Amino acid sequence: MSGTMKTFTMLDIGKTSIIEKPIPTPGANEALVKTTASLICTSDVHTVKGALPVENGRTLGHESVGVIAALGSEVTGFTEGQRVAVNAVTPCFECSYCQRGFTSQCGGLLGGYKYTAQVDGNMAEYFLVPAARANLAPIPDDLADEAAVYACDMLSTGIMGAEHAQISIGDTVVVFAQGAVGLCATIGAKLLGAGRIIAVESIPERIELSRRYGADDIVDFTKGDPVEQIMDLTGGVGADGAIEALGFPQTFEAALACLKAGGTLSNIGYHGENPAPLQLDLPAFGLGMGDKTIRTGLCPGGSERMRRLFTLMSTGKVDPTAMTTHRFAFADVERAFEMMANKEDHIVKPLITY
């Protein structure tokens, strides 16, 4: 396929634009996808602020779905025109990291995150899929693009946050922040059988979504110390699991402090914009002997992960589309990005259609 396409590109730190680029040609184990829908992520905002070392001129975006426009010579089992989603993380599934089970860290620390970080992202009229045999995820016929696109990052990351919190049936789990990824962690905690979910949030629209997705109690951090409120709610015992979905030192420290001995802190917040190092409060850490586990992770990729997330949506167990607070045509993507950067109008997720 030849010709040019429109892309949403980072020109420099703090500067973005829609620019034309040549439509790329897929390599042997790559696919070319014609985009139908994307979600803008707070990670894109962090990237444009300079939190991630990215070459100027890279296309932004890592949450997109579309239809297969062309397949590399070694990509079998798929057809042109087929509806597909691709996870934000596109591991090779061959390297030592992938073979040890850490596909998000493909090739090295955070290496599975290739879109924008290593290659052009997918907020564009067309995008390439690396390691396409493992990363192309067919969307079931009964699942709309605007739902499937949540599997690309939000549901995969949020549910991983709950998985890493090692939730047992009946556990009390605290989720810090109810942005889209925190809401998906709430969804994951509920699916994994948490007995009580305490969500830390102050914005009314997000509180409403949080309750809808399974939060039993809301701790409003603007109305007093969140750790004290969590301790009061749990009779002074604390939580079995805490999921940090914001990436602030204060929330990380509170997540550690509200855990009972033996609990697990699962971090999914991105700490790339922290001005200060993360502190570990030693008494809260049991002086290093509290049997508290800190688990970190990056969005799991690959088509099998996507298939499982699609099943949750196809069977009606999860409907992420309530998080889509705003909709834009691709021509207006810069306005959508600006709203996301400034968190205007209580935006949660803007959907971009092509």
Region from 122-130, 132-140, 145-153, 323-331 binding Zn ion, contact rule CB under 5 A: 145-153
Beta pairing, strands 4-12 & 15-22: antiparallel
Q: Which is nearer to Zn ion, 43 or 229 (CB)?
A: 43
* Minimum distance, C-beta of residue 233 to Zn ion, in the bound complex (Å): 31
Q: Binding to Zn ion (CB under 5 A): which residues in 43-82?
A: 43
Q: Which is nearer to Zn ion, 98 or 257 (CB)?
A: 98
* Both tokens assigned to 80: 């042109």
- For 102, other C-beta atoms within 10 Å of its C-beta total 18
Amino acid at the residue 158: G
Q: How many residues bind Zn ion (CB under 5 A)?
A: 8
Q: Which is nearer to Zn ion, 40 or 254 (CB)?
A: 40
Q: How far is residue 52 CA from its own chain's centroid?
A: 16
Q: Which is nearer to Zn ion, 113 or 176 (CB)?
A: 113
Q: Which is nearer to Zn ion, 209 or 239 (CB)?
A: 209
* Minimum distance, C-beta of residue 52 to Zn ion, in the bound complex (Å): 12
The 149-188 contact track toward Zn ion, x by CB under 5 A, reads: ----x-----------------------------------
Choosing from 33, 41, 136, 165, the residue that interacts with Zn ion (CB under 5 A) is 41
| Residue nearest Zn ion by beta-carbon distance | 41
**Cβ 243 vs Cβ 167: under 8 Å:** no
Core vs surface per residue 201-227: b (16+ CB within 10 A) or e: bebeebbebbbebbbbbbbebeeeebb
* Minimum distance, C-beta of residue 234 to Zn ion, in the bound complex (Å): 32
Phi-psi category of residue 143: left, alpha or beta, with phi > 0 → left and psi -120 to 50 → alpha: beta
* Minimum distance, C-beta of residue 224 to Zn ion, in the bound complex (Å): 32
* Minimum distance, C-beta of residue 61 to Zn ion, in the bound complex (Å): 9
Q: Which is nearer to Zn ion, 110 or 231 (CB)?
A: 110
The 89-118 contact track toward Zn ion, x by CB under 5 A, reads: --xx--x--x-------x------------
Which whole-number Å values give the CA distances from 247 to 31, 115, 136, 252, 307, in the listed order? 34, 21, 30, 7, 28
Calpha distance 305→301 (Å, rounded): 6
* Minimum distance, C-beta of residue 201 to Zn ion, in the bound complex (Å): 19
* Minimum distance, C-beta of residue 40 to Zn ion, in the bound complex (Å): 8
Q: By C-alpha distance, which of 242, 220, 212 is closest to 322? A: 212
Calpha distance 210→205 (Å, rounded): 9
Q: Which is nearer to Zn ion, 115 or 257 (CB)?
A: 115
**Cβ 13 vs Cβ 341: under 8 Å:** no
* Minimum distance, C-beta of residue 195 to Zn ion, in the bound complex (Å): 30
Dihedral (CA of 199, 201, 202, 205) sign: negative
Q: Which is nearer to Zn ion, 60 or 92 (CB)?
A: 92
**Cβ 326 vs Cβ 319: under 8 Å:** no
**Cβ 221 vs Cβ 200: under 8 Å:** yes
Calpha distance 286→30 (Å, rounded): 49
* Minimum distance, C-beta of residue 154 to Zn ion, in the bound complex (Å): 7
**Cβ 20 vs Cβ 56: under 8 Å:** no
* Minimum distance, C-beta of residue 219 to Zn ion, in the bound complex (Å): 25
Contacts of 180 (CB under 8 A, 6+ apart): 154, 158, 323, 348, 349
Region from 33-41, 215-223, 237-245, 279-287 binding Zn ion, contact rule CB under 5 A: 33-41
Q: Which is nearer to Zn ion, 128 or 219 (CB)?
A: 128
- According to the binding rule CB under 5 A, does residue 38 interact with Zn ion? no
Which parts of this chain interact with Zn ion (CB under 5 A)? 41, 43, 91-92, 95, 98, 106, 153
